[in-house]
Chain A
Amino acid sequence: MRVLVVEDDPDLARQLKAALGDAGYAVDHAPDGEEAQFLGDTEPYDAIVLDLGLPKIDGVSVLEQWRRDGIATPVLILTARGAWSEKVAGFDAGADDYLTKPFHTEELLARLRALLRRTAGHASANLSCGELMLDPKAARASVKGEPLRLTSLEYRLLHYLMMHQARVISRTELVEHLYDQDFDRDSNTIEVFVGRLRKKIGPDRIETVRGLGYRLTALSGETS
């Protein structure tokens, strides 16, 4: 899961990046409206945390432009301005959720999880695929009740696959959603990670569809 954080305050941006990183997200940061506009338009984020009071272009304008450009990425507005008139304006511009500062990090993470779950069309907070379970809140996964020890990239890979299970996901899509923009991307490394993940969760759960990508499915006989 890859998230864009748009925040001009460097300390808050650092905190948000750390908190989101700890929760298993790949995080990009844009310190002003212009960069946010560009990144949002060009990178396929799973969610965006957007401050409203931004240098160069204000947050609402950025959001409106994204929606005009057809970017449907869920956006959570994180702002100091908490009046209802401002909330209404934010939602009208196309926001999906609204959180006012000061906020609790847990609250932000919970809202973000709900946003991602809703976008992917999942009803429950925990993801499951047969006997494979993933708890986004605790950033933990388990097979048949046995907790898995995953690196952060392995966790991200599994999370993304579980969010979009039963669908074929290309390597490029995985690269785009697992790494932040500063990472030296190489689609071959995906194969390495898929291989490692297979070792941990069982080789047959991730199916390779030749020329297209990967698909996560429940094992036959398991009830999902």
Chain B
Amino acid sequence: MKLSLPGPSLTRRLVVLAAGWSLVALLITGVVLTAQFRASVLKRFDDGLSEMAENLLARTEVIDGRVVVSQFTDGRSSRTHTGRYWQVAEVGPDGKLVALQRSKSLFSGDPNLFIPTEGIEALGRDPRQTYSYDFEGPVGEPLRAAAKLSFLPGRETALIFIAAEDRRPVDQDARRFAATATTALILLGLGLLVAVFLQVRIGLQPLFDLRREVAEVRKGRADALARTYPAELAPLAEELNALVAHNQEVVERQRTHAGNLAHALKTPISVMLAEAQSRPGPLAEVVRRQAGAMHGHVEHHLRRARAAARSQSNREQTPIEPVLDELARTLERIFRDKRVSVDWSCAPGVAFQGERQDLLEIIGNVMENACKWSEGKVRVQATESAGGKVSIVIEDNGPGLPADRRADVLKRGARLDEKTAGSGLGLSIVDELARAYGGDLKLHDSSLGGLRVEIILPRAEP
């Protein structure tokens, strides 16, 4: 049978799919979460700055046309370059920003705090809002600033109040959060991956069970799928059972056909052989030879059909005792002129793992030989033997067989359609059958004086 390479694994497919979705979802979650946190922290920072600008506005008054900032002191804006700065400014006649008051944290040589022109324009349009922006501080630090615009009595021009602070702590917080969130999400992702894998394995378990059971059926250890499968697989199991049954039926039918054909051919062959014999001549010789060959083919294919049936299933168990009884009875009848007595014994309850017909064929042929060659005494003993086997020993008190001829008798590896001429024992068929069952055939001298044939066959487990 031609086997195509297996397609991508179902497990892999499900895991990759689930992992893909999880990854995308986690990625989005991470990005959104981090952005949200950053925005929230920044907003709080901006609120602080806005309040500071508000404060600055509240503490600023115009005395004699001069802008004075009173009582606005905190530690950080009093010391130089602390990262917190403020400035009160106005837009000069040339459109440039002119600082009127600056926090002490700005050194005298430092440039004024910066505000982009579009910021001034935006504030000019709506003086109530606070304008937030970023710029670089006097020592190169990134600053966040809030600017407000207000008119104070005593001044013609609008005043701009700017509060600025080093934004690095905020960025650091955001980064720290992002790092923590990423770690957590990666761990979550890995956890999900494991969970998905387990879920797929457990979810697909019935599929693996199904495969195992089908294999059991194929090996002949089970008749049909017997387990209860989930609703999705139950119809498949049912179909498989039907297929197995159908297959067995077809094989059985073919086997019967082959057997019938073979048996039906035997009568015409008989007729041709007899006719050829009664009228000697060259034609008769050809007919005799060809009919003989036909007989060989028929026997060969009969055995093949039996063997095919055997490989199908050998779950049948055959108790040995009744078989010995039947054969002993029959053989004593066949050889009654010779007065052969068959003395048989069988360990209680021993059964052969295989078909009754085959057991009859194996023991029958050996016992017939024993009866044929014996001087009236044949002994048969069936016992359990080690390794799950059964041993059947058949002995006679005939002339026996010289050791150097025993190998010829079995003719191992001889072609099926080859007539085992000369030996007259037909033990090769028995050997072939026993081997098909994983058994063996051994020839020894018997204590009765004749040949001792030991047949080893698989024993049925009760």
Measured between beta carbons, the chain A residues less than 8 angstroms from B263 are: 53, 80-81
Chain B's nearest CB lies how many Å from the CB of A48?
16
- B333 adjacent to A85 (CB under 8 Å): no
- A101 adjacent to B357 (CB under 8 Å): no
- B336 adjacent to A118 (CB under 8 Å): yes
How far is A83 from B270 in the complex, measured between Cα atoms in Å? 17
Q: How large is the interface on B (under 10, 10 to 19, 20 to 34, 35 or more residues)?
A: 20 to 34
Chain A's nearest CB lies how many Å from the CB of B194?
60
Q: Decide yes or no whether B136 CB sits under 8 A from chain A.
A: no
Measured between beta carbons, the chain A residues less than 8 angstroms from B329 are: 91-92
What 0/1 pattern do residues 69 to 107 of A give for CB contact below 8 A with B?
Answer: 000000000001101110110011000111011111100
Binds A, one of B165-173, B208-216, B273-281: B273-281
Query: What count of chain A residues pass the 8 Å CB interface test?
Result: 26
- B271 adjacent to A15 (CB under 8 Å): yes
- B267 adjacent to A15 (CB under 8 Å): no
What 0/1 pattern do residues 343 to 366 of B give for CB contact below 8 A with A?
Answer: 000000000000011001101110
Smallest CB gap from B368: residue in A: A84
- B330 adjacent to A85 (CB under 8 Å): no
Smallest CB gap from A13: residue in B: B271
Q: Decide yes or no whether A222 CB sits under 8 A from chain B.
A: no
What 0/1 pattern do residues 257 to 274 of B give for CB contact below 8 A with A?
Answer: 000001111111111011
Q: Decide yes or no whether A184 CB sits under 8 A from chain B.
A: no
- A88 adjacent to B271 (CB under 8 Å): no
- A9 adjacent to B327 (CB under 8 Å): no
Candidates A15, A53, A84, A92; contact of B365 at CB < 8 Å:
A84
- A102 adjacent to B356 (CB under 8 Å): no
- A12 adjacent to B364 (CB under 8 Å): no
Smallest CB gap from B332: residue in A: A91
Candidates B274, B278, B326; contact of A88 at CB < 8 Å:
B326
Q: Decide yes or no whether A186 CB sits under 8 A from chain B.
A: no
Candidates A83, A88, A118; contact of B330 at CB < 8 Å:
A88
Asked, given contacts A85-B356, A87-B364, whether A80 binds B266 with beta carbons under 8 Å apart, the answer is yes
Q: Decide yes or no whether A114 CB sits under 8 A from chain B.
A: yes
Chain B's nearest CB lies how many Å from the CB of A102?
4
Measured between beta carbons, the chain B residues less than 8 angstroms from A19 are: 274
Asked, given contacts A15-B271, A83-B357, whether A102 binds B291 with beta carbons under 8 Å apart, the answer is yes
Smallest CB gap from B262: residue in A: A80
How far is A11 from B278 in the complex, measured between Cα atoms in Å? 13
How far is A105 from B279 in the complex, measured between Cα atoms in Å? 13
Q: Decide yes or no whether B461 CB sits under 8 A from chain A.
A: no
Asked, given contacts A84-B365, A85-B360, whether A101 binds B267 with beta carbons under 8 Å apart, the answer is yes
Smallest CB gap from B274: residue in A: A15
Q: Decide yes or no whether B31 CB sits under 8 A from chain A.
A: no
Asked, given contacts A9-B267, A84-B327, whether A118 binds B357 with beta carbons under 8 Å apart, the answer is no
Candidates A15, A80, A100, A118; contact of B264 at CB < 8 Å:
A80
Measured between beta carbons, the chain A residues less than 8 angstroms from B74 are: none
Q: Would you list which residues of chain B between 271 and 298 have a CB under 8 Å from chain A?
A: 271, 273-275, 277-278, 291, 295
Chain A's nearest CB lies how many Å from the CB of B289?
13
How far is A43 from B329 in the complex, measured between Cα atoms in Å? 30
Measured between beta carbons, the chain B residues less than 8 angstroms from A53 are: 263-264
Measured between beta carbons, the chain A residues less than 8 angstroms from B64 are: none
Q: Decide yes or no whether B334 CB sits under 8 A from chain A.
A: yes
Chain A's nearest CB lies how many Å from the CB of B349?
22
- A12 adjacent to B271 (CB under 8 Å): yes
Smallest CB gap from B260: residue in A: A53
Q: Decide yes or no whether B156 CB sits under 8 A from chain A.
A: no
Q: Decide yes or no whether B232 CB sits under 8 A from chain A.
A: no
How far is A104 from B288 in the complex, measured between Cα atoms in Å? 12
What 13 additional pairs, Cβ within 8 angstroms, besides A9-B268, A80-B265?
A11-B275, A12-B267, A12-B270, A15-B278, A80-B267, A84-B360, A87-B330, A87-B364, A88-B326, A101-B266, A101-B267, A102-B266, A114-B337
Chain B interfacial positions (CB closer than 8 Å to A):
262-271, 273-275, 277-278, 291, 295, 326-327, 329-330, 333-334, 336-337, 356-357, 360-361, 363-365
Q: List 28 A-B contacts (CB under 8 A).
A: A11-B275, A12-B271, A19-B274, A53-B263, A80-B263, A80-B265, A80-B267, A81-B263, A83-B357, A83-B360, A84-B357, A84-B360, A84-B361, A84-B364, A85-B357, A87-B364, A88-B327, A91-B329, A91-B334, A92-B326, A96-B333, A98-B334, A100-B266, A101-B269, A101-B270, A102-B273, A104-B273, A104-B277
